[in-house]
Structures are given as structure tokens and as C-alpha cells.
Amino acid sequence: MATSSVPLPSRTRSYTALLIMGLAYLLLVLTAVTMLFPFYWMVATSFKTEARVFAFPPEWVPNPPILDNYRYIFTELPFTRYVLNSLKVSLLWTLGVVLSSSLAAYAFARVRFRGRDTLFMITLAALMIPGQITMIPLYVVMARIGWVDTQLPLIVPAYFGSAFGIFLLRQYFLTIPQELNDAAKIDGCSHFGIYWRIMMPLSKAVLATLALLAFMGSWNDLLGPIIYLYREQLFTLPLALTRFRSQYFTQWANMMAGATVSLVPILVIFLFTQQYFVRGVVLSGLKG
């Protein structure tokens, strides 16, 4: 004998939905706390003395908080120079990535030429090559042209395009209606005019996304400065932070103060670009 299913009362369904939503929010809160805790511990350690860094039981809140670590890195070390070096390298790198990648992406998305798709596939293949493979050949090239122990190897390669940036921007450019390009051509606009006056203003979200990712990658880069920079006056922040660690001793409190300072520019830039970040990533994958 077949039994008919009895629908749940509306109140029971609402309780079930609230329970599921509550569990989802609880999971999100636990995930957020887990991810934010290392940052909190870094900031808290920067306000402790070296003797209290590994105190047991752990000292969750510095009592009392001190500013000696920040005073030390800015008075005993040329930390301001390190910050300015990092800002210079990261800003120029970001500018190069955005300009070169957007030009190449426009060509792949809107300019028709023989071998376009094949060349784009080769560009995508570059994403699969680990940076460690090209490290030695790139160093040999930089050494032969005399750029070792300068900041040029940390800046100039960005102006030859980024495979990821080209892919990201091309996918977004493909979502812009072709009719806009056709109308601009009828009005006598060149390819560069279409790129600069139409495509770029309509791509602020994805450009901000690429700029943020490029800036973060350059700002946090340690391997490049270690390979190319020898003089201390050229050091960037990630390389400068290694000064707090020696073979037998690590100045944890001073290192955490320097790491906290290095985090500030990233947070500021993210606060200004967060409204574009998710939107840019989502829209860039709609087509292609």
C-alpha cells in the first residue's frame, strides 16, 4: 500500500533553515578566527620583550605592551629605506604588469592575426612552468647585461607581460560587447584608441584585481631580492627581515614588529580595492 508523503509544517521548515544557517555562520566564524589568529599573534608578539615571546603559559595579551621593538627597527636600522625600496619596486612592477598584460590581452581578445590562438596557448603554457626552472637562465641574462646588484631585475621583467595577467584580462575583455568596438571603428578610432578609451575604462574591476595581486606578489617576494641584491641600501622589506635571524639566535620580537609594518601597505591597498576584487575575479571567468 503506497503511503503519501506528508509535508513538514512551515514552522519546522523555518527551524531547519535557521539551524542550517546557524551552523554555516558558526563554521565561517571558526574559519575566520583560525585564519586571523596568526596575524593577531604576530602583532601581539611585536609588543612584547624578547624574554616574554615564549613565556609559558602563553601571554595572549601583552602586559604591558611596549614600543621598544618598533623604536629599534626605525632607529637602529635603515628600516625607512627598506620600506621605500619595497614601495618603489612593487609600484613599478605593478604598473608594468598592468600595462603590458592589458595590451597583450587586448590583442588576443580583439585583434585578428594569424597564429593568435596558438600564441595564446603558448602563453598559457607558461603558467605551468615553475619559476625555479627559469631562475638560473634569467640570472645569467641579468649578469651578462650588468643588472645584478641593482633593482632592475625586480622591475623590468614586468614590462614584458604576465601570463596570468594576460589570461585574466583577456577573459574579461571577451565579455565586453563587440558592438562597442565596431562603433568605435566606424568613428575612425584605432586599435590603441579602442584599448585606451573603451576597454580600459570598462575594466576597472579586473584591473584593480590584477594590480592588487601583482603588488602583493612583488611586495612579499623574497627569492628575487636574495638572488639579485647584495648591497644593503637596495634591500627590500622581505630581505631586510632576514637580518633578524642568525645561525644561533632569532630576534623574534623585532622580526614581528618589522613584519607588522610590512603588512600595513597590503591592508591599505586591499581596503581600497576590495569592492573590485571579487567582482573582477568572477567577471573574468564568464566567457572564453
pLDDT in tens, 111-148: 888 988 899 999 988 888 888 888 999 999 999 999 99
Specify the residue for cell string 612579499.
Answer: 220
Task: Of 260, 238, 247, 287, give the one whose Cα is nearest residue 90.
Answer: 238
Q: For position 131, what pLDDT does the model report?
A: 82
Task: Establish whether the linkage from the previous residue to 130 is cis, with ω within 30° of 0.
Answer: no
Task: Please give the angle made by the CA atoms of 207, 211 and 212, to the nearest 5 degrees.
Answer: 120
Specify the residue for cell string 628575487.
Answer: 224
Q: For position 1, what pLDDT does the model report?
A: 46
Task: Establish whether the linkage from the previous residue to 9 is cis, with ω within 30° of 0.
Answer: no
* pLDDT one-digit tens code per residue, 194-249: 999 889 988 888 898 899 899 999 999 999 999 999 998 999 999 999 888 877 78
Q: For position 13, what pLDDT does the model report?
A: 67
Task: Of 162, 18, 186, 192, give the one whose Cα is nearest residue 97.
Answer: 162
d(CA 154, CA 149): 10
Per-residue confidence at 288, pLDDT binned at 50, 70, 90?
A: very low
Q: What are the grid coordinates assigned to 103, written together?
A: 595590451
Instruction: Assign domain 75-283 to a CATH class.
Output: mainly alpha
Predicted TM-score (pTM) of this structure: 0.83
